[in-house]
Amino acid sequence: MIFCAIPGLFLTVWLLIAGDGNALSIGYYGFECPMAEAIVKSTVEQALRKDPTLAAGLLRMHFHDCFVQGCDGSVLIDSTKDNTAEKDSPANLSLRGYEVIDKAKQLLEGWCPGVVSCADILAMAARDAVFFAPNDLCEWREQSQESSEQLQRTEGGSAGGPVYEIPKGRKDGRRSRIEDTINLPPPTLNVSGLIRMFAQHGFSAQEMVVLSGGHTLGVARCSSFKQRLSKFDSTHDVDPSIDSSFGQSLAMKCSAGDTTEVAFDASRNTFDSAYFKAIQTSMGLLFSDQTLSSSPRTRVVVNAYAMNQALFFFDFQKAMVKMGLLDVKEDDEGDVRLNCRKIN
């Protein structure tokens, strides 16, 4: 039997959390809403069974939430006549899975009204989306006598992303403005810019690369990378860092329009190391993907994850826990929203 969970992971994650000085905790809802974890996990599992592509949307939504005003669920808020919210920024138009968060919130309000924040639901949903996304090492399947939360990993199939636990206790923010999304890294950023932007949030270059590995799931619209395919700069029509055959293929696909979607790698719904292998072969989709191979500082990390998928999983889990603690709001700094789309 193959176990994808890395030995010592939960100890490592616990030490990371305990040493952070943060009031969040693993068992935050243990007394007031003990079913919180199971409800979110079941909701995400059901959604991904119907549409596996939602895994990418939920993971990206958590990232886009945390990098703007911290992990406070602000990306979930709808725009009003007086305010254009984060979710309507061009940088967020490709996010998907809001209905999954709404469903989990509805169920939780039925069990324990006013207890579980939308920010925590989103953080748990992103974790569970990774958990249920396939990979090429393990297979998840339900044991016939167990509930859907009790899963067994067995050798020889293709399902099951990495497993990690997160602390809870985030409160929901009261601000969501489109102008704040300027803090999201654009797809045209070079490696120096990426290192600098992630460093502002306390991440190392290695952590930036491993978080970029979230692009192993999902797609990007042609509008995000079309600048690589023609009139790239004063010297090159096509980005010289892109494989020529791959570039021609992308140009053909994007002739259908800017909203055409292209997968980041050959296994768009599979959580694996294919993203890093694509970069190695000059087939990173976004400029901000391929640029990771342009610096020795990041290239060595790309190569390590391309060669060792277990290492990628282990480092990804640690980086996701750290990201989930960005500028969290606690106590009276925020609220527990009754509706994730509206400020109380």
* Annotated binding-site residue? 72: yes
Q: Which two tokens stand for residue 112?
A: 């324990």
SS3 222: helix
Residue 272 assigned as binding residue? yes
Residue pair 58/44 in contact by the 8 Å Cβ criterion: yes
Residue 64 falls in the annotated catalytic set:
yes
Report whether 65 belongs to an annotated binding site: yes
Amino acid at 340: C
Contact 166, 10 (CB under 8 A): no
Residue 74 assigned as binding residue? yes
The answer to whether 265 is a known ligand-binding residue is yes
H-assigned helices in the chain: 9-18, 36-50, 54-66, 98-111, 118-132, 191-199, 205-212, 244-254, 274-280, 287-290, 296-307, 309-323
Catalytic residue among 62, 64, 201, 236: 64
Tell me how far apart the alpha carbons of residues 289 and 260 are, in angstroms, rounded to a whole number.
18
Count of residues making up the chain: 344
Residue 185 labeled ligand binder: yes
Q: How far apart are CA 260 and CA 207, in angstroms?
A: 30
Strands 261-263 and 151-154: what pairing? Answer: unpaired
| Binding residue numbers for substrate | 185
| Binding residue numbers for Ca(2+) | 65, 68, 70, 72, 74, 86, 216, 265, 272
Cite the active site residues.
64
| Binding residue numbers | 65, 68, 70, 72, 74, 86, 185, 215-216, 265, 272
| Binding residue numbers for heme b | 215
